[in-house]
Structure 1
Amino acid sequence: MVERTLTVRVARIARQTPEILSFELAHPAGRPLPGYQAGAHIDVHMPGGFSRQYSLARADGGDASTYLIGVKREAASRGGSASMHARVREGDLLPISAPRNTFPIHAEAKRHVLLAGGIGMTPLLAMAQALAREGADFELCLFVRSEEHLAFADALREPLLAPHVRVHFDDGDASRKINLRQLLAVRRPGTHLYVCGPGGFMQAVRNAAAHWPEDVVHAEYFAAPADAAGGTGKPFVLRLAERGITVPVAGDQTAVDALHAFGIDIPVSCEQGLCGTCVVGCEGEGAEHRDFCLTRSERAHKVALCCSRAKGDELVIAL
């Protein structure tokens, strides 16, 4: 189950804001890249041995000739964003994963409200472009510090997209700022909400939309919230239904670690329950879910093994 990677060439690097660079990635031989749906992300393996997930910031127009990502240089970077900014150059070759989507557009929605904080705009920009092409009913609201910190401004000004875009500048005219509680006070029937951004912004949206049904609020996190439970806890046993074997998971182990120690390879990436790489099927309601990528309905039959555990003594998984 080793994850397949593909090699791409860095075709173009552009400065979007003082802290954000965009990277356009192409096939080295000029061939099309694997297609994807808006909201998808890729893992980028970069110099220094780092691997990070980045959302694709442009809707797939049908040919996927290039991928576009935005990378913010984080002051408290663990090395990933610093490596992309300081060590990656145009013409370099980078291994990446195929696109994965744990943050899709919900086609059943009658209206879509997209809320982005800062660099969290990247998956939502692709969603907005896809929705605009479909003639869907949607609104893209961006919350950024200042006009100088607004990334992908040219894309936002495109005639098809611009009428659907609202921008909140922290340092801007108070009369033009967006009040989250007012914006989300009333949910029109059939409306779905999508949110991505820093932890504080995510929590503010969650608070303002606390009265919305859980299954219509969709979120993608950059990192697990500070109060997240993590992947350790009391010991339990994994029962692998397809293999007919059991694997013990110690209290200081994650399920993924226990499987790896047993010789069973499970692909992992973020190891925080964010990306969905390690999600497998599970049986019943035996999982104690600690992820941030599965919906409530998905949790009835799936589990993220990097962080979730068993409620009781055993968890049955489809492996």
Structure 2
Amino acid sequence: MLERILTVRVARIARQTPEILSFEFTHPLGRALPAYQAGAHIDVHTPGGFMRQYSLAQDGGDAAPLSYLIGVKREGASRGGSAAMHERVREGDLVPISAPRNTFPVQAAARRHLLLAGGIGMTPLLAMAQSLARSGADFTLCLFARSEEHLAFAEALRAPALAPHVRLHLDREGAGQKIDLRALLAEPAADTHLYVCGPAGFMDAVRQAAAHWPEDALHAEYFAAPADAGGATGKPFVLKLAQRGITVPVAADQSAVDALHGVGIDIPVSCQQGLCGTCVVAGEGAGAEHRDFCLTRSERSHKIALCCARAVGEELVLDL
């Protein structure tokens, strides 16, 4: 199963903050792009052979959109992806991307939505806020940034439909521009869902402050796997492929997806950290040691992220 690759044109590049550029992509022939729901991301194949995931930073609406919008922060310790986007991509360039995927959707059944964004982590939550505003939902978008200068997509945040729902926490501003996380999350309200995205320190702070929230009410999207993540290695086990009627051994220093690739079974992968959901397949989740950050507790009963999951016992059954 090969990933669908689209070629898009860089229609506009804009400076959002000293460290963040926004990139607007359109179809080279002016056609509509594949539809998506707020919270979705795309893989961007950058110059130099890098591939990075970026969240779509605007509501996709109900129809196929004419453009995609992403925000890219130039990382000081960049391994090449953000540096390539900032230094080598120009307006008018053609760029390969994946079709949108969504492992971080708005929970339509929730009565209220609380969105917490740290820095560039605002991109998927901005799209969610726009979608929720369009549907008349009850929500609050809390943004944590160093200062007004470091607040990306400020114009979108000032839109009349969005502005009344926005709260700011600015590190360099006065006391009136602060949000106490522990006070904000002290009492999990019934039917309220919490969504969070941002850098590692911010994610850790929210996780600690919301430790008493119901697991199914907390939804997170990570830039990278947390430092205490289990990785993909461990004791050896066997994959049982139910549809094919065969077994595939997985070595202690090997991931399940690599073992499958080794016998010619193609499983698409992207982040290989359990973040993006590209490698998720159906299977007997109760037999898996789940190490991903993209599946909910209910999804883990019947889905498995093969880039990082291992078997609890000696065998893991997949619907392949």
Question: How would you bin the TM-score normalised by the shorter chain?
Answer: over 0.9
Q: 1:109, 1:239 → 2: CA distance?
A: 37
Q: What is the aligned partner in structure 2 of residue 96 from structure 1?
A: 97
Per-residue deviation, 1:227: 1.1
Q: Give the alignment's TM-score, normalised by structure 1.
A: 0.99
Q: What is the aligned partner in structure 1 of residue 37 from structure 2?
A: 37
Q: What is the aligned partner in structure 1 of residue 315 from structure 2?
A: 314
Q: What is the aligned partner in structure 1 of residue 187 from structure 2?
A: 186
Q: 1:268, 1:244 → 2: CA distance?
A: 23
Structure 1: 5+ residue stretches without partners: none
Q: 1:204, 1:15 → 2: CA distance?
A: 29
List aligned pairs for 1:98-177, cutoff 5 A.
98-177=99-178
Q: What is the aligned partner in structure 1 of residue 20 from structure 2?
A: 20
Q: Which moved more, 1:96-105 or 1:61-70?
A: 61-70
State whether structure 2 residue 286 is matched by structure 1 residue 280: no
Q: 2:295, 2:68 → 1: CA distance?
A: 25
State the one-letter code of the partner of 2:169: H
Instruction: Note the alpha carbon deviations across 1:274-310, whole angstroms, 9 max, x for none.
Output: 0000000112511000000000000000010001110
Q: What is the aligned partner in structure 2 of residue 253 from structure 1?
A: 254
Q: What is the aligned partner in structure 2 of residue 9 from structure 1?
A: 9
Q: What is the aligned partner in structure 1 of residue 235 from structure 2?
A: 234
Instruction: Note the alpha carbon deviations across 1:204-233, whole angstroms, 9 max, x for none.
Output: 111111111000000000000011110011
Per-residue deviation, 1:56: 0.2
Per-residue deviation, 1:2: 1.2
Per-residue deviation, 1:63: 3.5
**Number of matched residues?**
319
Q: 1:211, 1:255 → 2: CA distance?
A: 33
Q: Indicate the SS of the match to 1:104.
A: coil
Whether the aligned pair in 1 keeps the contact of 2:285 and 2:304 (CA below 8 Å) is no
Q: What is the aligned partner in structure 1 of residue 265 from structure 2?
A: 264
Name the Cα RMSD after superposition: 0.7
Q: 1:74, 1:208 → 2: CA distance?
A: 27
Q: 1:64, 1:175 → 2: CA distance?
A: 38
Whether the aligned pair in 1 keeps the contact of 2:8 and 2:94 (CA below 8 Å) is yes
Instruction: Note the alpha carbon deviations across 1:157-181, whole angstroms, 9 max, x for none.
Output: 0000000001110011113300000
State the one-letter code of the partner of 2:80: G
Q: 2:285, 2:134 → 1: CA distance?
A: 40
Residues 246 and 163 from structure 1, CA distance in 2 versus in 1: closer, same or farther, beyond 3 angstroms?
same
Q: What is the aligned partner in structure 2 of residue 69 from structure 1?
A: 70
Q: What is the aligned partner in structure 1 of residue 206 from structure 2?
A: 205
Instruction: Note the alpha carbon deviations across 1:96-123, whole angstroms, 9 max, x for none.
Output: 1100000000001000000000000000
Q: Indicate the SS of the match to 2:286.
A: coil
Q: Indicate the SS of the match to 1:285.
A: helix
Instruction: Note the alpha carbon deviations across 1:45-72, whole angstroms, 9 max, x for none.
Output: 1110000000000001324100000000
State the one-letter code of the partner of 1:314: E
Whether the aligned pair in 1 keeps the contact of 2:269 and 2:307 (CA below 8 Å) is yes
Q: 2:84, 2:241 → 1: CA distance?
A: 39
State whether structure 2 residue 38 is matched by structure 1 residue 47: no
State the one-letter code of the partner of 1:309: R
Whether the aligned pair in 1 keeps the contact of 2:285 and 2:303 (CA below 8 Å) is no
Per-residue deviation, 1:187: 1.8
Whether the aligned pair in 1 keeps the contact of 2:260 and 2:267 (CA below 8 Å) is yes
Q: Give the alignment's TM-score, normalised by structure 2.
A: 0.99
Q: 2:98, 2:15 → 1: CA distance?
A: 24
Q: What is the aligned partner in structure 2 of residue 224 from structure 1?
A: 225
Q: 1:44, 1:3 → 2: CA distance?
A: 12
Q: Which aligned runs of 4 or more in structure 1 are off by greater than 4 angstroms?
A: none
Instruction: Note the alpha carbon deviations across 1:241-276, whole angstroms, 9 max, x for none.
Output: 111111100001001111111111110000000000
Q: 2:306, 2:131 → 1: CA distance?
A: 32
Q: What is the aligned partner in structure 2 of residue 78 from structure 1?
A: 79
Q: 1:140, 1:42 → 2: CA distance?
A: 23
Per-residue deviation, 1:189: 1.2
Q: What is the aligned partner in structure 1 of residue 60 from structure 2?
A: 60
Residues 156 and 251 from structure 1, CA distance in 2 versus in 1: closer, same or farther, beyond 3 angstroms?
same
Q: 1:231, 1:107 → 2: CA distance?
A: 32
Q: 1:279, 1:210 → 2: CA distance?
A: 26
